[in-house]
Structure 1
Amino acid sequence: MQNLPANTQFSYLNNSLHYSTELGSAHLGDSLKLMQELPDESVDLICTSPPFALVRKKEYGNVEAHKYIEWFKNFAYQFHRILKPQGSLVIDIGGSWLKGYPVRSLYHFELAIELCKPPQEGGLGFYLAQELYWYNPAKLPTPAEWVTVRRERVKDAVNTVWWLSKDPHPKANNKNVLRPYSEAMKNLLKNGYDAKLRPSGHDISKKFGNDRGGAIPPNIINAQDEPNINEIGKPVLASFDWLLVHDLTQPVNVISASNTASNDYYQKRCKQEDIKPHPARFPQALPEFVINLCTEPGDLVLDPFAGSNMTGRVAETLQRKWLAFEIDLQYLQASRFRFEADAPLVVIPLPIKKTNKQKISELLKCKLEDSPVKQNAKMLQSSSQYQLSLPFIDEENEFMDRQTLKFTYGHQFEPEKFSLLEIIKLCQECEPNRNELEKQIAQRYFANHSQQNLDVTKASANIGKLAMNCFLSLRAYRIIEKIENNDRSYKLTQLAYNLIDNQDAPETAVQLFARHILTNLTGMSLLKAIEAINARGEQPQLEQIAYELQEMGYSISPNAIYTSTMRKWLELASVFEREYEINWDTVSEILEIDKDYIDELYTLSTQQKYFLLAMLHLDVSNLTPWNQVIKYATSVYKIRFSSKAFVQEVIAPLVEVDLIETEKTTSGRGAKPNKVKLTDKARNDLVSRLLMSIAEMTELTQTELSRSFEDVIKDLDDNDKHVKGKALELLAIWMIRLTSLRFTKWRKRDYETGQGEVDVLAASDRFVYHRWQIQCKNTKRVDVDVLAKEVGMTFVTGADVVMIVTTGQFTRDAFQYAYRMMEMSRYYMILLQREDIEAIKDDKTSIFQILDRKARRVFAKKELAMTDTEVDEIENEESTLTDFNEE
């Protein structure tokens, strides 16, 4: 998505902001003017319900039918301009009657025709992708004269929803809106189906009996069973109800979503605040259906006639970015109630469809086909940004198209406003209530702002916005973090507690914060940008720094003050001697790495960086064939290495800067690959920093974390319960390290109670975000009850990958349970037993061969309906593929 510009050219859009959330913002003003300031091809979906051309005038504003088309075309021109090439325009537009006659107006059909005419004929050039229908059984039986008095017509209960697009093939996937199978279809799937020719002539094959996860929905949008909320704050977990429910109280023209809820949260809050609610509100089912059908998480959704902003609320819950434009202040004020902390959800986010099995499919494709480097590099980009908390991880990958990185947000968060410890203590006092924290920030630090503004409401809104910006900065700087997925609650991070622990030594606290900015945020990139400008003899200015960062791959506006905010915090730690003169001696002291070393890291090529990173994760302290390291790096980071000049292009430069040592055992044709290991310089400065960061989270010492995988396995057989327990914890850490996951937290550490098991949570952001639940057991036998308990715990942990590692063996029933669970649910289960651990002990890189083999087997059985025998044949064929070796 293109970020909204933040300069004076777009003053109307910037000044119209009424409120914002993590993913979207609502603006007060004329949507026609607001859209004019949006960039071309920046919106993925426009989902809206404009005022209808009704006979009777409505309070929310509507145009007469004969004027409607020309009125609407002004908006349609902007819709066409701002939509992406494969974007969609979805318009809910109700029908109308000719005044004085029981005859329907054709205005909405005429509008569709006008929008779809080619430009040379005076139209807009849209395509009619499909017409949808919203059935609203709660509509009043109007016109009363023809429906309830003379009884000449039936109730008009359907709105036409035009789905238009700029391209004949807009982005859409009906798998995202599958409805539950009917009982008849479930029976058919259970009992099978005989292929036959229907009377209509359609040839129905046996594939009709395949279970495809649900039925394709019709184009009638139904939400008959909307929840009725009887108390404010009560959570609502709604879901799709696509089965048509017959409305028998009145004869209707289509045999459903009501919008007449009178006691839901929105209505109650409107009554409490004495604000008139919008009289024609969207039901959640309509935007829910369209957003899931036409967009993906992260896409931008616009509603230019927002009303009560149901579209924005649904988009936020479904993890889409959104914009809402509304010209009526009262309606916009009321719409804010939908985003309050106590407001219930209106929908449950559908799971992201890129599941583990799809990731396995991509992995197979990379292994068996010669995929483009560009695609591999995109996978690399998503997995590498903060893997090691070292500056070279954030640098742009030379193998990929330029991907924009985000510079750390920092607004209304300057040290002259408050001391670091002062604002952290305020966060601690208000924890976990975001509303209370923003209120206190507003009162303490921004109460005198906007005093010149005579409009009290606008002044208060401006102050609230400043406080919100400060809160977002605290979160961006990782002083606080969200609690689960609740955007209105927060908790202090470990960094904040570390700073509080040093409140009696403020200089130490400032240095700790500076180290955090330089290693975990974008501080080092800021220093390199400023250094580059200084080296050219130029004077660093705000705009110039932004342009330099843009060339490094960052998405940042030239007018953004984020760099100034970060520079001021670093200045407190004496990183800057004068405004833009960097004190590299201070940086070296803070990072415990000298400047020459930092420069060396920045000058490494992409292949050199990720080869070194793989050696760090594998802890290559003994001479090891470099092709084993490459296997690990290729599998984890999805990067391809050139075999022909690998020694000259990767190994030799790393040796030259004293990061690795090498040894070649044989020479000539057929020579064995070089052996490599980390130097003391690399181990002391890099590996120790990685181990220390893990040690702070796992409560294990650096000495313990430095122990080899072989030693850990050996200690699992020790007679001392404490020694075995420590080994079990270290085994869990080694599983995280070898799979390049990120440690999250311990779930339980039961070795001290004699239960012989350790549970840990980890996460990965490669491909897509997913959470791992890892259990290590030091028992001879693991049965199905252990697996069932772990699956049950996922409802608490939120994990979608369950890995169980045992020093013993899994029973046959346990394996059958795991395969059955993976076939029938969203979970992916990995079972590693003694022979797997032995293989990993012999060659740590073999963990990926083991995981790949298990993943392919599950994928082949679940998606391709292959038998175990067929999978075995494929695996035997793959085993004949040659390994990567030096030519």
Structure 2
Amino acid sequence: MIQKPVELSHKPYYETQMGAAYLGNSLPLLKQLPNESVDLICTSPPFALVRKKEYGNVDAHEYVEWFKVFAREFYRILKPQGSLVIDIGGSWVKGYPVRSLYHFELVIELCKPQREGGIGFLLAQDLYWYNPAKLPTPAEWVTVRRERVKDAVNTVWWLSKDPHPKSNNKRVLRPYSEAMKNLLKNGYDAKMRPSGHDISTKFQKDRGGAIPPNIIADPASELGSFIGNAVLGSFNWVLENDLAQPVNVISASNTASNDYYQRRCKEFGIKPHPARFPQALPEFVINLCTEPGDLVVDPFAGSNMTGRVAETLQRQWLAFEIDENYLQASKFRFEPEAPLIVTPLMDLEKPAKQKALESAPVSTVDQPSKQKTEQNVMQQLNLFNQELTSMEEHKLRFTYGHQFEPEKFSLSEIVQLCQDCEPDRRQLQSQIAERFFSTHSSQNSNPTRAEENIRKLAMNCFLSLRAYQLVEKTNNDWSYQVTDLGKQILQQSDPQEALTIFARHILTNLTGMSLLKAIEAINARGDKPQLETIAYELQEMGYALSPNAIYTSTMRKWLELAGVFEREYEINWDVVSEILEIDKDYIDELYTLTPEQKYFLLAMIHLGIEDWTLSDKVVKYVTSVYKVRLTSKMRVQEIITPLTNVGLIDSKKSTDGRGAKSHYVKLTEKAKGELVSSLLASIAEITKLSETELNRTFEEVVADLNHPDKHVKGKALELLAIWMIRLTSLRFTQWRTRSYETGQGEVDVLAASDRFVYHRWQIQCKNTKKVDVEVLAKEIGMTFVTGADVVMIVTTGEFSRDAFQYAYRMMEVSRYYMVLIQREDIEAIKEDRTNIIQILDKRARRVFAKKELGLTQEEIDDIDAEEASLAFEDDVDTVVE
């Protein structure tokens, strides 16, 4: 249940599940908020402009003192690690083409120490909002005298009370540039650059996206809806070559004239707010500085864009606005029919820590004893000896680790010694004592006692090796063998990879995740993790552990070598996530498969091969889509048989007797349960469609396109778009529009591929009888916004002759490639899903013949007819044999 934000004595003007908007002067409303109760204040106060605005603004010379009254309340209500983000536009000196310095004076006053009359904030960073649609003002100096350029940038001050406010730029990553993608794919030389920067091998690791700049992009801009997208034309080179670091400019227009908010204002005769917040700015800031459930406040709410974005991103919010007309209009943003504005991040919003904790195996070591939580331990009377026996449950045991610290030996060194001495435990302990502990008791005057101490140390080391499951007991206490884990570690040529494998084992099979939870809990309280405090925390979790036991220190040191700890007790949850392979692609988990086997299996998954299908058809798909040739010789022995043996596909010969060339194949229940479900889950997470919907067959989806219910038809059109993406092995990028909700019967989607020649696809599905040339022209026009190279239009009806001619002409004279799929094609795909590749290949050959060979349409038709006859003869030959 979501907890409501702080309730004030005033009655809310309106409220939602996550927040409330209040009418009135924000100053007395702010005074009602408790100390240190707010995570983020994100606002755009009235600017100190030369010309007065209808929403009220203060003269520049009075502005700083006016604002400081509010700032004192901001400082009081912010949590110690909270943030204050102010969008504040610059101004001009009246009558002169020179800039006012009031917004710089303001930040200086806000950051002065309180003892000097300031507020005491720290400047975390300066961000910049670039508004490409801003008017060229002041007109006298820009458009009349031409002495100045257009003022199109607002300064956004990010202030905090603490040098380390809560923030995580992984929540605002932007897609990698092509340069960075090439670097990740091809590698580079790790060396000192001429600039003096030491570029290490860490830059070659794919971390899911580039850290965004402090230029914040508008989802409605021509470069698409990615947080942190850079759109300043003159800065493109810098931003494209910015391999991993974000920059600090937000680009967004606030001049939309026909969005939902504007239309509703017009319908009700309410004047909309003239200086609305762009969605991109609060989206960027809220994602950067808060987590779901945090409280966001906008004391100068205006049209309440901040509240709308916060609601969508599952943050609590409060909005204060003094003008009732503006507040009344802001209610339109929360109507059921209103667009969400931004896509909720859902699981993408979860930090690495949360994903790691949720994905860690659940075992009894993480479950505290139920009776331990009770005040009094239950007692039972023993009738035989009249003693009280405790009924407290058996305590959990933390992994034993004594004299097993990495300072003594490397991981591969100690495991190699175990293998060399196998299976004699006495010999191993003797070797451990001699190599690693021989000088331990050199100061002891009693040789016998010194020798005994050394033997105990070696024994403790062996017991630790066994506890960490690197060795295991065999016939008796004095024989052992190296485990599969130990052998796997010895097979690694890279020591760091061996440590990663060991860390994964510790986190997955031992008590490593409990240790991280205990340390994280201590850090969250602001306490200092030490041996005793960690032990006490683990005791609260149900472990029987002495406060002086060094087992936790031993485990922490091994995890530290794998990068789990950045500093002594600071957990790097991103590394934990990587070690646990949480974000690993579902098909890559099948690490034992060859590339050819993977592509064959992946093709069957995307095509949804659940009924017996000739393997030849799957092979043609693999060749066309993945550009991988699977020869007939290797097909059965090297692909079909191994996949059958591991239980991922079923296979049988296509004909009995001699000469049969092909096999029938289909996915097994295991593959459908583990692999297809994983694919659908990943699509569901991105598209926000349910797995139940995505699990519907292609045939069921096409049938629903004729359903009398508009909503059912619209949902079927969405699912058809997703099916087209799956059938062509593309990757869903984003929805472009959802026009079916307005009754227009169309769905637009963007997709991408790194295997097709053209890597960015723009797909439109239309449920109409006829598609004419105007639709195609409109889609080509949209490519200037989407940056697509391929335009696919799918219709349940037909394309006009003019539409086909326009498509071929466009492909002849431009860089675009158009794919037109109509009713007869959909019927062919219903009969056999692999027909999608024949259809696409045929379209591609036609374009090549006309564009490169200069053939006429009649000549192309003759070639197609001849190919069709040859294909028929091949089929007949197969049957005869």
- TM-score class normalised by the smaller sequence: 0.3 to 0.5
TM-score scaled to structure 1, two decimals? 0.42
TM-score scaled to structure 2, two decimals? 0.42
Of structures 1 and 2, the one scoring higher in RCO (CA 8 A, sep 6+) is: 1
Structure number, greater radius of gyration: 2
